[in-house]
Structure 1
Amino acid sequence: MRDIQHAMQTFLEEKVREGSERGLQLAVYYRGELIVDAFAGIADQASGTPVDGDTLFPVFSTTKGVAATVIHLLAERGQLDYDAKIGDIWPEFGVNGKEEALIRHALYHTTGIPHMPTGIGVADLSDWDKMCAEIARLTPQWPPGEHMEYHAITYGWILGEIARRVDGRAFSQILKEDICDPLGITDMYVGLPDGMEHRVALLEEPGFVPPSVDEDRPQAIPAWISPLHEWMNTPAARRACVPASNGIMSARSIARHYAALLPGGVDGVQLLPNSRMKLATAPLRLKDGVLLPRGMGYEVGQENSIIGPRLEAFGHGGYGGSIAFADPGQDLAVGFTKNLYSQNDAGSSIIGELKNRLGIA
């Protein structure tokens, strides 16, 4: 396996040299062993700081897979049931047409509240209680469970507050104590602690063009938070806790998290039993019978997906190109982080090269 480490290290360096990437990391567990721990490029062009294995990267919606794992851990302990009404746990939420919304609906992005509340701004994203109060007052755009529309940011406060209500601990504390500590992970955060700013890669998105939106209509990602890369380059954004979209972590940490969800786990730690993961990764079937490639909080495999074609594979990608996933059929877990967001993204070619080297179709 030493050959694959060298091969992938060389491949990453080539992507930096050709300009398709600036700074990036790739970590891969295969059959329970860390076989690739590669990194290349620059974390911050202004300072010239090189990327190393300890560099932290904002990963946007790749965070959602970790948030899902938190919920499934609580379910496995009997602290919550997927079919429990959210309003029974969080009474303020069970109003304005959300009375029948279930935890299952939140995990599947079917609660009907994909759009952010109006009348708030960037500063409010750091105020957990205010954001949860605003989310709780929202009126769903369809009856919960009837339609799936990606809850780009609201997902995080819905699930994070459910976790806090049933457990009593803040989301970031559950993440540290129940996922990071058992696995020896020291570089996975949703809410960056003081003293860590120097380790975070600076995001770049040359040629960014603001999307054309009607600012008078509710938006899943409001114009005032755009460009996203600029928001995540600010200390306030990094220190906030937004479990849908502002995780900051290394490729090593997110790959290890997914390795611990595979049968047998990693280094003697399996976060959830196989039976729980089978439930968690069951594809969404809507009331009209349509089957969608989305598990409870995870994306699942489908044809032409970077995760792979098998439904049993699961993970989540993020804005800009970060990705992390596990494939039980191949005993494979991957974490990929980066800081240059462009049309020349090399993520697919990097994962493709990895799978070719491993002989995985």
Structure 2
Amino acid sequence: MTMTPSLQQKVQSLLDELVDTGAETGVQVAVHHHGALVVDAVAGTADGRTGRRVTPETPFFSFSAGKVMTSLIAHLLVRTGDVGYDTPVADLWPEFGAHGKATATLRHVLTHSVGVPAMPRGIGPADLTDWSRVCAAIADAEPRWRPGTRTGYHSFTYGFLVGEVARRATGRPMRQLLHEWVTTPLGLDGDLYFAVPRTDLARLARLEDSAPHPAAPPDGDSVLAPWEMRPTAAMGNSHAILQADIPSVGTFTARGISAVNAALLDGRLIGSHRLEELTAVSFEGTDQVFGNHVRLALGYPIGRIGTRPDETPTTFGWVGGGGSYVCADTATGISFAMTKTRLTPHFDTAQRLADLTTAEIAPRA
């Protein structure tokens, strides 16, 4: 373990300030630089009911920030030759070709351009634990646009699309592939999960809502259902959700997920040519769900949080609903991860910490 004292101290000081002022209740930050762990800082409580403190070993359910693990599995599928980026999904999953989706490829899945951003009607949060039912509903869904022509955030469908392709290609569920291909080779057992074992539930941080959610918009005002757009502590603390294989979301420690991206950057998981391919701009356009301009690599938005995408085109990663953030930068070799207990509608904490990290390391990178 290699620490950068000044950066470690500055991050720790900021975390302590955030907890002391009540802006946050429990936070965890890890940073790797060129493969070395340079920041490993925590502050606050993991469980407000018991007062249990956050430690670097505390896993957090971090909503869509877990998509970095999902996308990685997709790239490892390509590395092993089980599937190609331009392989039609229906080649492995014939039922998915219904209603004009036969042309959809893994590349379209990774760029959120398949055209099925929302869960089909009749699928709610409680149904996410039923893999077969969810996949059958997605396979029978009519796309909102012709695959590959537009992009729109596939909030929960993304994980099932990647996961069913992986299952059809390998015969194994995502939780098993994550364990065999990532956590075990990197020595990260206990740090990364799709489907948390019952015996590990007591180790997890307990999430809390920061404020009441505003009233839901009328039907038709949004492509996604309210539960797909707004993270809640109830979902993140649900033992049924936590124990289910739902690779649209994920549970991890900041140290563990930062180590994964560090291994991605330095070639331990895939080669440099593949890294260059998967982090290049693959789709650019207007997000049909949120209306903002997006630049997407294969499986990741491009650009550091809080800046225009074109200002930091070498950074890729995912934010998680409620304020978590995981990213990596091919230019500086920085891998950054931040998880927290309090769910906020903004990413102010993540941006402050990511900006601090970049300001300290990038000039020397």
Task: Flag structure 1 segments of 5+ consecutive residues without an equivalent.
Answer: none
> Which of the residues 76, 80, 83 maps onto 2:79?
76
Once residues 167 and 36 of structure 1 are traced to their aligned partners in structure 2, the CA distance between those partners, rounded to angstroms, is 36
The alignment partner of 1:96 has SS state of helix
Once residues 220 and 152 of structure 1 are traced to their aligned partners in structure 2, the CA distance between those partners, rounded to angstroms, is 8
CA spacing shift, 1:22–1:48, aligned 2, 3 Å: same
Indicate conservation of the 8 Å contact 2:283/2:296, yes or no. Answer: no
> Which of the residues 298, 308, 311 maps onto 1:309?
311
TM-score in terms of structure 1 length: 0.91
Q: Cα distance, 1:307 vs. partner?
A: 8.8
> Which of the residues 271, 274, 277 maps onto 1:276?
274
Q: Counterpart of 2:119?
A: 116
The alignment partner of 1:260 has SS state of helix
Once residues 160 and 223 of structure 1 are traced to their aligned partners in structure 2, the CA distance between those partners, rounded to angstroms, is 21
What is the identity, as a one-letter code, of the residue corresponding to 2:148? G
Q: Higher mean Cα deviation, 192-201 or 338-347?
A: 338-347
Once residues 304 and 201 of structure 1 are traced to their aligned partners in structure 2, the CA distance between those partners, rounded to angstroms, is 26
Matches within 5 A, 1:224-239: 228-239=232-243
> Which of the residues 137, 152, 173 maps onto 1:134?
137
Q: Cα distance, 1:57 vs. partner?
A: 0.6
Q: Cα distance, 1:277 vs. partner?
A: 1.3
CA spacing shift, 1:307–1:253, aligned 2, 3 Å: farther
CA spacing shift, 1:287–1:226, aligned 2, 3 Å: closer
Task: Flag structure 2 segments of 5+ consecutive residues without an equivalent.
Answer: 287-292
What is the identity, as a one-letter code, of the residue corresponding to 1:13? D
- Structure with a larger share of its residues in helix: 2
Indicate conservation of the 8 Å contact 1:96/1:138, yes or no. Answer: yes
> Which of the residues 251, 255, 258 maps onto 1:255?
258
Q: Cα distance, 1:31 vs. partner?
A: 2.3
CA spacing shift, 1:286–1:250, aligned 2, 3 Å: closer
Q: Counterpart of 1:191?
A: 195
Indicate conservation of the 8 Å contact 1:64/1:244, yes or no. Answer: yes
Indicate conservation of the 8 Å contact 2:125/2:227, yes or no. Answer: no
Q: Counterpart of 1:293?
A: 295
The alignment partner of 2:42 has SS state of strand
The alignment partner of 1:37 has SS state of strand
What is the percentage of aligned positions where both structures have the same residue? 35
Q: Spell out, residue by residue over 1:21-63, the C-alpha distance to the aligned partner (whole angstroms, 9 max, x if none).
A: 1101111111221011100101111111110111111111111
Q: Counterpart of 2:324?
A: 322
> Which of the residues 162, 166, 181 maps onto 1:163?
166
CA spacing shift, 1:307–1:169, aligned 2, 3 Å: farther
Once residues 131 and 269 of structure 2 are traced to their aligned partners in structure 1, the CA distance between those partners, rounded to angstroms, is 27
What is the identity, as a one-letter code, of the residue corresponding to 2:281? P
Q: Cα distance, 1:228 vs. partner?
A: 2.6
Once residues 357 and 284 of structure 2 are traced to their aligned partners in structure 1, the CA distance between those partners, rounded to angstroms, is 34
Q: Cα distance, 1:76 vs. partner?
A: 1.3
The alignment partner of 1:95 has SS state of helix
Once residues 322 and 145 of structure 1 are traced to their aligned partners in structure 2, the CA distance between those partners, rounded to angstroms, is 29
Once residues 297 and 89 of structure 1 are traced to their aligned partners in structure 2, the CA distance between those partners, rounded to angstroms, is 19
Once residues 261 and 147 of structure 1 are traced to their aligned partners in structure 2, the CA distance between those partners, rounded to angstroms, is 28
Q: Counterpart of 1:154?
A: 157
What is the identity, as a one-letter code, of the residue corresponding to 1:244? S
Once residues 338 and 285 of structure 2 are traced to their aligned partners in structure 1, the CA distance between those partners, rounded to angstroms, is 35
> Which of the residues 173, 176, 185 maps onto 1:173?
176
Indicate conservation of the 8 Å contact 1:122/1:225, yes or no. Answer: no
> Which of the residues 193, 204, 208 maps onto 1:204?
208
1:105 maps to 2:103: no
TM-score in terms of structure 2 length: 0.90
What is the identity, as a one-letter code, of the residue corresponding to 2:132? D
The alignment partner of 1:213 has SS state of coil
Q: Spell out, residue by residue over 1:66-107, the C-alpha distance to the aligned partner (whole angstroms, 9 max, x if none).
A: 101101011012111111111111001011110111111111
CA spacing shift, 1:223–1:321, aligned 2, 3 Å: closer
Once residues 287 and 199 of structure 1 are traced to their aligned partners in structure 2, the CA distance between those partners, rounded to angstroms, is 41
